């Protein structure tokens, strides 16, 4: 007898109808800070995969908004799972909960047994760190029906691939800059991860937490999720993915990293002093300079061992898919220019 396919629900603040054309998906529109909405969404659900968050590293979004969504929203969703007796909760955390705390610190092929924790007070890493702690601490909670809540967290590296807002913004800014890629991560060495492999890791985590043999070693744990994308700088990744479409690296020399760091500190001081009379947002800050220019790579061996994780997409496949998507952005830009000149 064939097992019926599970019903998939997606709760989002925006109803993205285009997703319904790709898979059988029930869309629920709501706010993660709306307790009644969360309680309704969790009814009859067997697994919650919590990916919602606000990402901001430049100070565009108010600190309270980021912490409300990322931390309080996570805590409210955990409470809703307890009330609705949802037994499995998988949290999409972030590499930023581990750092980097200094561009001088070098971490190569880090792993879960090492203690790495962000010391930044910036709202994004701070809120994600506390939210992950809440999720892992909730492992073992008693559900309303007498069952038990089991949780785990996944810490993906920098995620690239189709639909990436960061990549899209970088490409569009470069197209407006005569095809020159804006350099902001020249000194980094990182191991980015393809979006399809991150999604696959979530599926495997769900399966593993439902497997009586695998689950005991996974409950309450976190996992770094990377793949076989070559270790490289952010600038080199951007160039590799976009060079086919004529984009190129900025040939001008970059400011030395220590100078970038202290310049960002001075800009933060100026921003603070102007606060009573004017809202000044610096173009970059110490956290962003550190994040973009550190040697910070992690292994996926623990996920391989516990979850059975192997990248679903090779580097060549991931690169090709992402390049084709970037090509569509370049074409959109060209069409926009044609429309303006007509």
For residue 325 the two structure tokens come to 């998507």
State the Cα–Cα distance between residues 238 and 234, nearest whole angstrom.
6
Whether residue 261 lies in the annotated active site: no
**Are 91 and 70 contacting, i.e. CB atoms less than 8 angstroms apart?**
no
* Pairwise CA distance, residues 44 & 223, whole Å: 28
Catalytic residue among 91, 103, 124, 224: 124
Q: Alpha-carbon distance 325 to 323, whole Å?
A: 5
Other CB atoms within 10 Å distance of the CB of residue 197: 26
3-state SS, residue 116: coil
Q: What is the DSSP code (8-state) at residue 277?
A: T
Residue 269: CB atoms within 10 Å: 11
Neighbours of 329 (CB within 10 A): 17
Token reading at 342 = 């007509």
- In sequence order, the β-bridge partners of residue 48 are 89
Q: Which of these, 27, 156, 153, lies nearest to 78 by C-alpha position?
A: 153
Q: How far apart are the first and last CA of the chain?
A: 61
Q: Which two tokens stand for residue 189?
A: 């060495």
CB 121 within 8 A of CB 133: no
Q: Could you identify the residue written with the tokens 């285009």?
A: 18
CA-CA distance, 91 to 154, in Å (whole number)?
6
Query: In a 10 Å sphere around its CB, with 0-12 CB exposed, 13-18 middle and 19+ buried, how is residue 234 labelled?
Result: buried
Active-site residue list: 124
């Amino acid at each position: 007898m064939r097992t019926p396919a599970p019903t998939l629900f997606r709760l989002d603040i925006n109803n993205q109808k285009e997703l319904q054309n790709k898979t059988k998906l029930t869309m629920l529109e709501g706010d993660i800070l709306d307790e009644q909405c969360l309680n309704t969404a969790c009814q009859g659900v067997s697994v919650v995969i919590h990916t919602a968050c606000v990402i901001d590293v430049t100070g565009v979004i108010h600190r309270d908004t980021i912490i409300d969504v990322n931390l309080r929203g996570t805590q409210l969703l955990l409470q809703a799972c307890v009330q609705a007796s949802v037994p499995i909760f998988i949290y999409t955390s972030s590499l930023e909960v581990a750092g980097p705390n200094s561009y001088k610190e070098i971490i190569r092929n880090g792993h879960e047994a090492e203690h790495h924790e962000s010391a930044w007070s910036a709202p994004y890493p701070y809120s994600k760190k506390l939210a992950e702690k809440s999720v892992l601490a909730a492992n073992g909670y008693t559900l309303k029906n007498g069952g038990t809540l089991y949780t785990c967290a996944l810490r993906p590296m920098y995620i690239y691939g189709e639909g990436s807002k960061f990549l899209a913004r970088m490409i569009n800014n470069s197209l407006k800059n005569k095809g020159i890629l804006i350099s902001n991560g020249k000194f980094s060495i990182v191991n980015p991860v393809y979006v399809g492999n991150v999604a696959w890791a979530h599926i495997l985590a769900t399966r593993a937490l439902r497997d009586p043999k695998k689950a005991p070693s996974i409950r309450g744990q976190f996992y770094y999720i990377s793949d076989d994308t070559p270790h490289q700088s952010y600038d080199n990744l951007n160039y590799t993915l976009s060079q086919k479409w004529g984009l190129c690296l900025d040939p001008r020399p970059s400011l030395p990293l220590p100078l970038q760091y202290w310049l960002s500190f001075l800009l933060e001081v100026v921003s603070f002093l102007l606060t009573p009379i004017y809202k000044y947002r610096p173009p970059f800050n110490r956290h962003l300079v550190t994040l973009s220019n550190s040697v910070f790579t992690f292994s996926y061996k623990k996920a391989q061992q516990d979850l059975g994780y192997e990248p679903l997409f090779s580097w060549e496949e991931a690169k090709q898919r992402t390049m084709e998507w970037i090509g569509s952005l370049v074409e959109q830009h060209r069409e926009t220019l044609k429309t303006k000149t007509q």
